[in-house]
Chains A and B, each alone.
Chain A
Amino acid sequence: MKNMNFLVAAYVAIWAIFCAYLFSVARRMATLQDDIRRLKEGGK
């Protein structure tokens, strides 16, 4: 089980990078969808 901590760190890092990226895309998408709703309501 030598170097187990390095292996765990690598796999945690992979998941952390993709979760952070997904979170960033979801947040930007939610902001844009809010903008679209607001602009469409303002245009009526």
Chain B
Amino acid sequence: MASESQSRTPSGAAISFPSVLVVFLLVATASYGALIQAPEEATMGLIQRIFYFHVSSAWTGFVAFFLVFIASIAYLRTRALKWDWLSVASAEVGVAFFTVVLVTGPIWAKPVWGIWWTWDARLTSSFLLWILFVSYLVLRTLVDEPERRAMVSAVFGIFAALDIPLVYFSIWWFRTQHPQPVIGAGGSLDGRMWRVLMLCWVATLGVMALLIRLRYRLEALRTEVDALRLEESRNAGRTM
């Protein structure tokens, strides 16, 4: 009976030690680059070093939320639960990265702007994006039936992800307190700072991949528990 339920709900592979080691080395190298190797910014000084993990966490959060968008569309097309697992895993990891963004931003802003927070377009839309995906996670707890939960979540996930371009382009579209873009039109980042920023982004993408894989496995285990419970209640019904 147990093997029957296992074959229906594969728990996914565990995270391998080499992949953890590679990500650990990437994070260690990126931290060295951000805290020691990168040149000190002329006007802001030491506090500018927050930028490397603040910006890379924001970009990685966008990638995680974009994965929710892709996985939600894939679920609606195929109705395969694996896409729902990927969607919830990416949403939760994206929320963790955006929590980093919303915490480190004000810590940088206080000494530079003199205030912790202001309701400008970039900060407000980022906060809204975080709230939308927290709501997505809360919404999932309110629906018990797996297929219905996956369906409702997929629709909400697509809607929530529509805020990503608004957050990203808000500094181009609106006059904001937030610093101007560091890439694309108007970007003027020093070459050494740019390389450290890219290294930090690769490191945070590695962390994101590991966390999503771990969280995906958790969702697979949850489905296995649901299947075993269903089997148990059926067996109890037969013996009565």
Contacts and interface: CB of A to CB of B under 8 A. Distances in A.
B29 interface: no
Interface in A13-41: 13-14, 17-18, 21-22, 25, 28-29, 32-33, 35-36, 39-40
B217 interface: yes
A14 B100 contact: yes
B109 to A, nearest CB: 10
A2 B45 contact: yes
B13 to A, nearest CB: 14
A35 B225 contact: yes
A42 B99 CA distance: 41
Nearest to B49: A7
Contacts of B1: 43
Nearest to B53: A14
Contact-residue size bin, chain B (C-beta under 8 Å from the other chain): 35 or more
Mostly helix, strand, loop or mixed at chain A's interface?
helix
Contacts of B215: 25
Contacts of B222: 32
Interface of A: 1-4, 6-7, 9-11, 13-14, 17-18, 21-22, 25, 28-29, 32-33, 35-36, 39-40, 42-43
Interface of B: 1-2, 31, 35, 45-47, 49-50, 53-54, 57, 96, 99-100, 103-104, 107-108, 110-111, 207, 211, 214-215, 217-218, 221-222, 224-225, 228-229, 231-232, 235
19 contacts: A6-B47, A6-B50, A6-B108, A6-B110, A7-B46, A7-B50, A10-B107, A14-B57, A14-B103, A14-B104, A17-B100, A21-B96, A22-B211, A32-B222, A32-B224, A33-B221, A39-B229, A39-B232, A40-B2
